[in-house]
Amino acid sequence: MAPPTPLTASPELLGLLSHLHSASLDQESKLDWNQIRGESDKTFDAIMRDKYIALDQDKCELIYHLLRGTGATRIVEAGTSFGVSTIYLALAAAQNATGSTKGLVVATEKEETKAAAARSNWAQAGEEISGVIELRVGDLRETLASGLGEVDFLLLDSKLWTRSSCDRSLRDLINTSSFAYRGNIFVPNSFNGESEFTL
C-alpha cells in the first residue's frame, strides 16, 4: 500500500510537481553559490534567468497545508520564477473556494522567459490550477502596487525583499495580509536566526 500523499491532488499533478522539484534541485546542485554571491545584480540575474530556484518541496507542502487550514482564497506571490510554488498556492486556493468565494492567486515575475515557462507549467497542471492564477509580468514594486484587494496570504520569494526600497513599497501589503511567508532564497544555509514567518 502506497504511503499517503501530503497533497490532495491527482497522480498526474503530483508527478508533475515531483518532476519540477527534481529539475530545480539538479540545477541548484551545479551552481557555485560562493561565486554567485559576489556577482553584480546584472550578472546574478543573467545566471538565474534560466534557473528554477523553486521553493523546497517540504516548504511548499507546509504552505499548502497552512492555506488549507486557514481557508485562504486570495493569495499573492512575489517572485514566481517557473511557477512551481504557485501550483501549490493555486491548488489550495481552488480547494478553499466556495460558491460565493472564488480562489485567486496573483503571481508576479519580472523575467519574460520565466513567466512563459510558468504559464507552460500551469497549463500542464490543468485548468484547476491555471484557472485561478493571474500573472503580472514586471517589477513587483509596480505589479503589486494596486488592484489586489484584501489579501489572505503573501509569499515573498524574491531577492528584492532584502532591499529597503522594496520593503517600503510593500509595507502596506505585508501589514494588511492575514499572514506571510518570506522565502530565504538564493543563499543556502544563510538562516540568520529570524523567523521566516510573519504572523
Does the residue 199 lie in any domain? no
Specify the pLDDT at position 1: 46
Does the residue 64 lie in any domain? yes
Does the residue 18 lie in any domain? yes
pLDDT in tens, the chain (199 residues): 455 678 999 999 999 999 999 999 999 888 887 877 777 878 877 888 888 989 999 999 999 999 999 999 999 999 899 999 999 999 999 999 998 899 999 999 999 999 999 999 999 999 999 999 999 999 888 898 888 888 899 898 765 544 444 555 566 676 666 677 776 543 333 333 343 333 3
Does the residue 2 lie in any domain? no
Which CATH number characterizes residue 36's domain? 3.40.50.150
This prediction has a pTM of 0.84
Specify the pLDDT at position 39: 78
Q: What is the number of domains present in the chain?
A: 1
Which residue segment(s) compose the domain that 42 sits in? 11-186
Does the residue 191 lie in any domain? no
Beta strand pairing call for 133-137 and 197-198:
unpaired
Cα–Cα distance for residue pair 72/129, rounded to 1 Å: 15
Specify the pLDDT at position 13: 98
Does the residue 6 lie in any domain? no
Specify the pLDDT at position 168: 54
Specify the pLDDT at position 49: 86
Does the residue 153 lie in any domain? yes
